[in-house]
Amino acid sequence: MAAVPRPSTYEGDFWLAVEAPERGPVRAPGKWMVFVYTADVDHWWALISQAVETGVLGPSAKVATAKPNPNVTNPRARLICVYTADWRDRGDVRRVLRVLRGLGVSWRLSYKTDDATTGGQYGPGSSVYVSQPDSDDFDDRT
């Protein structure tokens, strides 16, 4: 088995990604955006990628790598996207949030649709759901 690249040192692409073993249909994808300190990205990626690969989280996840990216606004942080198959399925969005909380992700999280990302919507107002620190629920901003 080949060694899994560490996002803190991998520069082969802007992202590393994993998929769940039994990935169902993806209808209207969205993602919880988990921003972590660059120094901690390997730790959080190990937890989250394992949870995806064992079918506990959503259908996939990706992490920003060490490859220099002109879109990065904070060099001290890396983004981990944890996907759900349908952003309109609030029950599944909540389930994935609760798994993230169970893994120790305790800070404020935002959830964004892929349509918003591909449409160039970033920053304040681009998230459809927001979960406050230590909350296992979210505010609906649709």
State the pTM of this model: 0.92
Beta-ladder partners of 78: 36
pLDDT in tens, 84-123: 999 999 999 999 999 999 999 999 999 999 888 877 777 7
Write down the pLDDT at residue 120: 74
Write down the pLDDT at residue 51: 96
pLDDT in tens, 35-80: 999 999 999 999 999 999 999 999 999 999 999 988 888 889 999 9
For the chain, domains (ranges, CATH) are 15-140 (3.30.760.10)
Q: CB neighbours of 17 closer than 8 A, spacing ≥ 6?
A: 60, 61, 62, 63
Q: CB neighbours of 1 closer than 8 A, spacing ≥ 6?
A: none
